[in-house]
Structures are given as C-alpha cells and as structure tokens.
Chain A
Amino acid sequence: MTYPQVLLQNRKPDRIATLEEYQQSGGYQALEDVLHNYSYKDLQEVLIDAVLLGRGGAAFPAGMKLRTVAEDAPFPRYLVCNADEMEPGTFKDRVLIHADPHMLIEGIIIDGYGAKAEKGIIFIRPEYESAARILEREIKIAKEAGFLGKKILGSDHSMEIVVHRSGGRYICGEVTAQLNALMGKRPNPQQPPPYPTEKGLWGMPTVLQNVETLANIPHIIRNGVEWYKNLAKTETGAGTKLFCVSGRVNKPGCFELPMGVRLSEIIEVHAGGMPAGSEYKACLPGGASTRYLPKEFYDIEMDFDPMREVGHRLGTGAIMVFDQKTCLVGATLNLTEFFARESCGWCTPCREGLPYIRDLLLRLEEGEGREEFIPMLQQMSKHLWSSYCAFAPGATSPVESLITYFEDEVREHITQKKCPFK
C-alpha cells in the first residue's frame, strides 16, 4: 500500500533536499501566493477550515491559535517553532528537518504572516545538533533567495529566523517552559493566564507550533482545503501524519501515512510486521505520555477523534510496540524513571509523587510487591493530576493504563514473588 507523500515527498536516504529541489516540487509558491493574495485573516480561516491540528501532542487547531492573537496586540510578535522533540519514541521532526528543511522554513514564514510576527525562533534540542546546523545554513540560503528578510517578495511582511539551542531537558518542550528557556530563565512551566499569544516571549504575543504542524501549512495553501481533508482516511480528520514506529517491529522508522490509517496496517505493512515469535501485546500510540493500547484496539484508526472516543490519545503518533515477551511492569518502571528524572521539580505532587510510584514499581518488579501496591499506584496517579502542569498527568498515563489493562500481569509479580518474564 502506497499513499501520497506530502511532507516527506523529497526525502532521500542520505541528504536534504536543496532549495532548488524544494522549489522544483512547488516549494515557496505558497509563500508568494499568501503574501500577495491573502490577508492574514484569510490565512487563519484557511487553516481553520483545513482542520490543521497541532502535531506536538495537544491537537490544538493551528488556525485558532493564530486567531487568539488580538488584532491590536503590540509588536514585536514572535513565532516559535518547537523542535525540542523530547517525547520518548518520537523522532519525526528530526526526519522532517533532515529531509526538507525549506518546507519548515516556508511554513514558519507563512505562519508568521498569520500572526504578523516578524521574528521566528526554532527551539531545538542539543541531540539534534546536525539538524540545527542544517537549519542555520538553509535559513541563510533562503534569505539570499529573498524569502526571508525585509519586505519579503515585495510584500509588507518581514521576517528573520534564528535557531536557538536548548541545553537539554524534557520539560523545555512544554510551551510556557520553552518560553522561559528562551528568555534565559529556569525552564519552569507557567500557568496561564496570560496566554502566550497575549503575553509570551519578553511579554509580547507569541505563537508556538510544532515542526510537523508548520510543515503542513505550505501544502494546504498550495493544494487547497478539500485536497488536504481528503488525504485523511477518517471523515473528521485531515492531512497526513508522520508516524514513528519503534520497539518490536522488523522495520522501525518514520512513515508518512494518511491520518486515520489503522494501527494494524502501520505495524504489519509499513513497519514490516513483528519479528518471528513476537505477538502484539500493547503499544504506546503517541509517546511516553499516552496510555497503553492493548490488543482489543489493534485495528483502531490512528486519528485524534477515534482515539479520544475510546479514552486514548494520539499524542505525537510515536508508536512503541511491545510484544508478549516484554514485561510491562518493567517498561512502566523505565518510563517512570524517565519522568522522575525529567520532572522540573517545581511542584510537590510531581516532584515527590513520581519517585514514590517508581519505588512501588521497582519493588513489584523485584518480587517484593504486595497486593495493596495496586490501589496505591492508582491513588498516587490520581494525586499527580493536581500537579502544576501537563507533564505529570502525562507521566501517569502508562501507570494508570498498566493497571487498567494489565492488572493480572501486575498481580503475577506479587503472587510469584518475582518478575514472571525473568
């Protein structure tokens, strides 16, 4: 089964698409069109009609976000591109930047126009130093070609883009923490109001979007809303999605597929199926902060709505596949270690609660678990929902769903006084 490639249409095994190659595939035509034929409000409307939902995990409509910047909001306004991508299992933004950096650059300039933002900032994790260098080089090339700078292509819109390197911490991916990081402050989250689109970077209106979200924008402009919606397999969905597949599959990788493609097809067809002797037990469908998706959902349509309807989240679409031989208590212990380490430490439920959960899981895994640990894990997970930011509820997703779907496996650790997989 092959599907239209949009975001990865110029992907090559060993190098980026050059500016010329991007332009040959229609690149920068959307920018020209928008700057001359669209008001910034037209642009917002098109993105809303196209149902472009944020690809960074929260699925907020991109056009609506632009619209929350008030008409009379002060200048300068900022557009931040979130290339932090620290959600375990997720590597789509890396693949996209290494395939076609100008697609992202064009997306940033157009989105910037939609917010009347003249300063673009790409916030990128230190592990992606090669991507950061590619972007710096290609931004210069785009500028020399007249796509960046003052009065772009003879319009009223001006824009500069800079690359900002992170020092590396998961919480920097969260919007408000990222803004603090950009301002040289300790990257603690900041509960709204004020919302970043009202008072963000340096107190100015700031729109923040994920890499993949921004890369969609030129295509929507060039090919139209109907075309974009028709890319999806689901009625309510739109566009394609970059699915990263890892874990127990034969061909781990990043695949561009229609929004709403079935999980079973992604695993069996695109990721090469599972290795001999491995059977599907569960996956985390959208990064470490989503819930285990057990076998009963193996055929689910991978789109925001169908997932939400069954109490799950699509997250970043990073599918981590576990087989019947993998201990999910062990996996959840590992995930909780991650969250306990990466907690920013600002608020007590998260800072204290995660090590507590980790300790319970560790004792279970080592055969020292007791029956009352199960309700304790559930209760602690609930407590974490009163934390300051969305990090902690995300961190409890694997724990809570472990008990919801795999309570028997947890209990076996208790009755056998050891990990049954060892």
Chain B
Amino acid sequence: MRAGAYAVVVGATLVLAGCGNTQNALAPKSHQAQDIASLFWWMMGGAWIGLAVVVGLLVIAWRRRGGAEGADEKTAERRGWFVVIGAGMALPIAVIAALFVISDVFVIRTTQAPAASATRLTVLVTGHQWWWEFRYPGTRAVTANELHIPIRAPVRVEVRTADVIHSFWVPQLNRKIDAIPGRTNSIELDADAVGSYRGQCAEFCGVQHAHMGIDLVAESEAEFRQWLARQARTASPPTTAAASRGQELFTSAGCQSCHAIRGTAAAGDVGPDLTHLASRRTLGALAIPNTRDYLRSWITESQEVKPGNQMPNLDLAPDRLDDLVAYLQGLR
C-alpha cells in the first residue's frame, strides 16, 4: 500500500512541477522580496570577504609552520593587540552598525505589517493542520490552499491559526509571518508580475508539516475580480444524474460533517470549503494535482497519499465513487 502511495505522490509531483512553481527567495517578484534578496547579496559579498581574510590568515599560519618565526614575543604581542582591537573590534563594529541601520531602519519598513489604510484589499488567512483557508472580507469567497491576488496592488494578509502555530510564507513575495493562537499577524503582498508562486508552511506544525503548501496566483486586476466573483457564488447544482447521486452521497457518506458546500446543506467547518473545489489546481494542500484520478485516490486512500492527515479513507464501491467524483468535479 505504501509503495502504491509512493507512486501516486511521485507521479503527482512530476505533474505539479510542470506548473513551474518555485520557492526561491532569490528570485523575487515583489519589491519587498527584492529588498531582502539585495540585502542578502550584499551580505554574502561581505561574508566572502570576511571568510577570505580569515582563510588568508590560516594559510599564512600554515606556510610559516615549523619554521623560525620572525618577530620576537614582545613585538608580536604588541602587533597582536593592534590586530585584535582593529580587526576584531573596530572593523566589525563599523560594518555591523552599517548593516544594522540599512536593514533594521530602512529595509524593515517595507517588510513589516502594512499600515491599516495602506491597502485596498485584505485577505484573511487561517492555518489548519494541514491546509490553509483563505477568506476575502466583504465577499462570501472562501477557498483553500489556492490564494489569488491582483498584481501591482498591495494586499494586506492577516494571518491566524485554528489550532497550532503555522507560518505563512511565499518567499518570492515577502518574508514569512507566523500564525499564533490568540494573535493576528499581518504582512503585505505586492506581486510585480502575473504568475503562480509556491509557498509553504514554515513552522513545524505536526506530522504533515511537509505537505502544507500554498499555491499563490497573481493575476491582472480584471482576472482577479472575475475569479473572486466566481468564488463568492454558491455551488452550481449538479447537471448529470451521476452528479446528483454524488451530491446525495456527499451527505450520506458523511462528507458534509467536515466540509461545506455553499448553497447546499453541507456546512461542516473542519475541512476545506469545497464549493469551488474543481476550480483549484491541487488537492491536499499541494500534495497532488486536482485531476479525476488523483481525486479518486484522495477520497479512498488519503491516508496513504498524506499519512496522518485529518481525512479518513472512505470505503466506497467503484460506481459510487464515480458518482461522488462526478459531483465534486462539477463544483467549478
């Protein structure tokens, strides 16, 4: 069984890789991430110089090994004090003071929480074991693991948790921010370019911390508005007989006790809202792609695909599974 799940996950990631997603902090797509990346490149340059100095000293020491030394003890000691105070105190104080001022007085202004009035759009993020819930205040839109934002428009992201500590992190756009019980933390996202950016929970949150991904889609203002309007709508009713049977099954098999589908009786709030499940690109917080076959395996063997996750394996006869999948795939 585990080998089977392994094959499922390997296949899944090959497909996901096709999205071209990356979590590279040094491929910034926002001015915040750009500032942080620039900071790093400068610091790395300085670090290489510092390391070169020390390696140089070690090499000199090596070359002088075993031989008769130059300076007598007194001269060496006097020079030693000069070196230790100059290179060991004065120089690092100057360099670190400069670094401190640049990063902690200037750069920090853009990477901290935005002022309350600085953004037009707010997204509420809630971390769950092990998936993300995204809500757009002022609309009914609720989605999971897939976060859409408009480009070139600062978005305020307010981060909370429903259970343990998580950390919201999309490295190409900004630094990470923890989701802590009893607190609301916020950062700003301001994508420069259309694209999909991968993120991931960055604070250890239990057994499936590794599969708590974020699929962030940055799109034009118009496309974003369309998407948001669609997500705010209630679920489209089933159009085929199979899908209708699937909807009944959703209730009778117990799915509705955890999942909500707006516009139906299903109103569970434990797992992700599935009103527009079929519009999403992945399942299980980026564990597998959202295709027919993967959806089937997610329903019947989610414990093999993502061991320890909160959804039980459902034991369904193949024809009933077909009906349920037909229903879920109609939720666009």
Task: Report if A and B associate in a common complex.
Answer: no
Interface residues of A (CB under 8 A from B): none
